[in-house]
Structure 1
Amino acid sequence: MTRLERLRKQFVKQYIDSLIIIDPANIYYLTGIELMAGDGLLFVTNDLAVIITDDRYETYLDELENDQVMGLITRDYFGKLAELVGKLEVEIVGFENTLSYRDYESLDDLMPVGMVACDRIVERLRRIKDPEELSKLRQSAHVHDLGYQYVLSIIKPGMTEKEVADQLDAFMKQHGASEASFPTNLASGPNSVKTHATVSDRSIQVGDVVTLDFGYFVDRYTADMTRTFVIGQATPEIEKVYRLVNQARQAVIDHMKAGMAGNMADRAGRFLIDQAGYGQYFNHGMGHGIGLAVHEFPASYGPKTKKLKLRHQEILTVEPGIYLPGKFGVRIEDDVIVSHAGVEVITKAPTDLVVATSKA
């Protein structure tokens, strides 16, 4: 069954007989056609799939080998869509609820039939990866493994966070990555306490804890890896906290399998952190889905995700962390493919505590 056929099977549940798709990642997933944001849309009915875009993509559409999709060239995307809907026997048009209010108003004024907002209908299909997608994600993870080892080989006291992140960016692109899927988080010393720090001009110093969280697209699919290491020498407290976070990460991986509730997967690791007295310093979910975007469905699994059931052949991050205000933070993140038998960890870089060189 093709992806478009899988989508059409959802129409009855959504009480629609057609769907407008604006999100470029969703359009690519369903058709293999890459549009920039704002450069058109995909309209799917029970019988048709139509890309409505402008003449910049005309040659590209002519060369596309996809007999399930036709193209309409215009500079008036919504006007052409309304015209098409008027000619077809459709009664209820669904649209992605991520559509901006401005675009919704424009469509609502033009559309000759009723419209219904649909919540993550394509994103839920994207949750389960096919073999080709899993292969691409494994390759993406491999490039991230190389990137982490590269950072360990170049980082030195006196370098700024930004200098290290810039060199990592060049390395990733030289090894097959197209662009970052989110701003690299390379946080040293007191910055490592910030769960979503980016990079600053702070100079890295001997004794710093450094948290590196990065994601890059490789052949359209992104991995998401975090490793924490120390410059120079680790204190007993750093070693203790690091060991606990690493044990929590491994506990989740050891327990996780398809069919398990999200809160139970989370509990396997969070319980260890709570029992050790650090529960208040772990202030985010255990992980999220990845794929064509760095945050895919499920957006998060944690203590309150009892109704979320893990699915066979979905890929999730596992990323426990402890952040001690005024001191340091530790987070370790792996990407795993979930199955009925357990998980496959595709981020292979070691998770043992690394003490990087202290020579400037």
Structure 2
Amino acid sequence: MGYNLKDFLNGATVIPFEDDILSGLETICQAYAEDEEPLSVIDEMSSYLYADVFPTEFSEFLQESILGQSISGIKYISESLKIRLAQYILYLTIINEEDSVERTFLCSNWMNYIVLKHNDLTSLPNAMLLSHLYQYHINAYVQNLCENRRCEDGLEEIVRNLLSLIPATNYADGDFEFDNSSVWNALRQICDEAILKRIADLISKFHEEQFNIKTVYLSVKGLVDLLEYPYYNIDIVNAIEMVLSGKRNTRSELWKYIENLQNLGVTPVCNLDSSIILRALRHKNDTFDIQNKSLKLSIKEFAVYLFYELLLEKIELTKIQEHE
């Protein structure tokens, strides 16, 4: 089920907007979502909605577009109206992206900001409308990829046949030429099994080490580093539970986790504005003022947020390298 601007504006005014006003606002929202670089829109709207960062460019655009054009019936842009328009523009930016991989990337960047309202997501008006976007998060995307592969008939037999074709000695390029795409899916499944084995070995290694927050950080980073292909269907929650097996899943303020890691010398690479934890670790947290926010997370919750930040950073780095 999709939503429209009228859904997001519910509650913005005592008297609902007339259709002509809705039409004018719709045009304005579509223009902002389409004219700006999508990731920049996600960052600006998310910083505003989840970190209370004043959206200068967006506010000026609304001022010019709504008041400057004298849209009948709107004489003042209230904070309530601005928040709802920001939510709708964020929503449009994600659902209007036609490339499924890029849509997943945009959605996942938005969801990284959610940590800033981890304990208070419902404080935003109509916040549940945005939950419709969860289906585009990278976790849902990779699960869907995995399910599509499992649906292929005869996959197990194809794998067995494929293995029987692998020679014991070195082989030349061209020895493996298959027209059937399901064979390549079988190859991918073999790779999946291999990466899962490497992940299990990594978890076992960290589980045996002395447990502290740096162990959690290094185990999560190690998982991401193993992924030459970032869209493996990894059950990150289960992986973290295995690392924490036998340990207390204690809760602490987010800034304390960050401070402890900083004291241990952790300085990760960070290219995305949505990497809230990684930005803070590199002392780039002034904008979001994490130390003055009451954000209590369990170690497991912290690790899951960290995993997706590191994973998106890996994807972003790949994009940067492709354009060099």
Relative to the length of structure 2, the TM-score reads: 0.28
The structure with the largest helix share of the pair is: 2
The structure with the largest strand share of the pair is: 1
Q: Which has the higher contact order (CA 8 A, sep 6+)?
A: 2
